[in-house]
Structure 1
Amino acid sequence: MKKIITLVFLASFGLTNAQQAFKGKGDAKFNVGANIQDGGSGIQASADFGLGENFSYGFVATYLLGVDEFSGIYGENTYANVKPEFEDRVDAKFRINANLSSVIGVEQLDIYPGLSLGLHNFGGHLGGRYFFTEGFGVFTELGFPIAKYSDDKEVFDHLNNQVTFSIGASFNLD
């Protein structure tokens, strides 16, 4: 029972002291968290900068730490216990977001759909940030490719060309 009371207290404290998630022009946010996807998991870091009341641009980078080895036949080649190289594990993207906190009327929550142009594909994302204090919050994001640059001739092309899920901490930089 003590755990339940403590959890309710912390949740209500976080909700009553929550801060504005997106302030518009001049706003700056930094996210860092876990990247989870099929065939591997890793870290994601992103930064977003406000350009207007509901518009921002930013950058996102991911690096896959734990990646499944591949053994078998792919295309015309046979592979045995092959691990991906650095360029197969890393991805960097420029992105634009439509920040909807003022549209939905909840200042502490920023829902942001957007588009990204990266090293491996052109894609989209849907994310959300919730700020507990002026400087700290949490984020979650779902990313997906729309058009990829390769024609799947390499074993690990799928690593940066699939749906990804990210979750982590968000920090206010302004």
Structure 2
Amino acid sequence: MKNIVFIAALLFFGFVNAQAFQGKGDQKLQVGANFQDEATGINVTYDYGLGENISVGLSSSYALGVDDVMADLTDFGDRFDLKARFNANLGNVINIDPNFDLYPGLSLSLKNFGGHIGARYFFSDGFGIYTEAAFPLAKYDDNVDFFYNQFTFNIGASFNL
């Protein structure tokens, strides 16, 4: 129950306080923690604006804190993931705050084809926070359910480059 309350609080904080996407040529770098079943890790995301409400990018994650049982069964390839991303940046469409951006999107990774929804808020021109939830839509191998073929939750800092 504590985990559910903690995640709900993080999601609420992330959606209430999260950054505006400014359009073509806009670049965002996000660095944060990755939470999932049986592991925690780090996540780095880079997004580049193609138009007023469209961005593409790359995301990479690595599972660090693996449960003892899983640690013996996994190697680098099981812990690492790289994704190509497409986002629809809706911050200026929903007009909650000029510094807020809500972005649903799709990703194609080394492990699966998936979707994500995230939010970010910039406190200044260059620094903010973000939260993102990702989920698989199609797995490449149904027999492997290690770290990235499941729901993941990310939270961290966002930088406007």
Verify same fold: TM over 0.5.
yes
Q: Is the 8 A contact 1:30 1:48 kept in 2?
A: yes
| Equivalence for 2:69 | 70
- 1:92 is displaced (CA, Å) by 0.4
- 1:70 is displaced (CA, Å) by 2.6
Q: How many residues align?
A: 145
- 1:69 is displaced (CA, Å) by 2.9
- 1:91 is displaced (CA, Å) by 0.3
DSSP-derived class of the 1:161 partner: coil
Whichever residue aligns with residue 171 of structure 1, its letter is: F
Whole-angstrom distance in 1 between the partners of 2:81 and 2:108:
10
The structure with more radius of gyration: 1
* TM-score of the superposed pair, with normalisation by structure 1: 0.79
Whole-angstrom distance in 2 between the partners of 1:42 and 1:122:
20
DSSP-derived class of the 2:46 partner: strand
Whole-angstrom distance in 2 between the partners of 1:27 and 1:45:
17
Q: Is the 8 A contact 1:69 1:83 kept in 2?
A: no
- 1:96 is displaced (CA, Å) by 0.2
Is the aligned partner of 1:136 residue 2:127?
Answer: yes
* TM-score of the superposed pair, with normalisation by structure 2: 0.85
- 1:110 is displaced (CA, Å) by 0.3
Q: What do the CA deviations read for 1:101-132 (whole angstroms, capped 9, x no partner)?
A: 11011221000000000000000000001000
Unaligned runs of 5+ in 1: 1-17, 72-80
DSSP-derived class of the 1:159 partner: coil
| Equivalence for 1:112 | 103
DSSP-derived class of the 2:50 partner: strand
Is the aligned partner of 1:166 residue 2:154?
Answer: yes
| Equivalence for 1:94 | 84
- 1:68 is displaced (CA, Å) by 1.3
Whole-angstrom distance in 2 between the partners of 1:151 and 1:30:
32
Whichever residue aligns with residue 89 of structure 1, its letter is: R
Identity of aligned residues (%): 57
Is the aligned partner of 1:103 residue 2:88?
Answer: no
DSSP-derived class of the 2:134 partner: strand
> Structure 1 stretch 82-91 or stretch 116-125: which is displaced more?
82-91
Whichever residue aligns with residue 92 of structure 2, its letter is: S
Q: Is the 8 A contact 1:100 1:110 kept in 2?
A: yes
RMSD of Structure 2 on Structure 1 (CA) = 2.0
DSSP-derived class of the 2:125 partner: coil
Is the aligned partner of 1:148 residue 2:139?
Answer: yes
Whole-angstrom distance in 2 between the partners of 1:100 and 1:46:
18
Unaligned runs of 5+ in 2: 1-16
| Equivalence for 1:50 | 49
Q: What do the CA deviations read for 1:7-57 (whole angstroms, capped 9, x no partner)?
A: xxxxxxxxxxx9x62110010000000000001000000000000010000
Is the aligned partner of 1:21 residue 2:20?
Answer: yes
Is the aligned partner of 1:33 residue 2:32?
Answer: yes
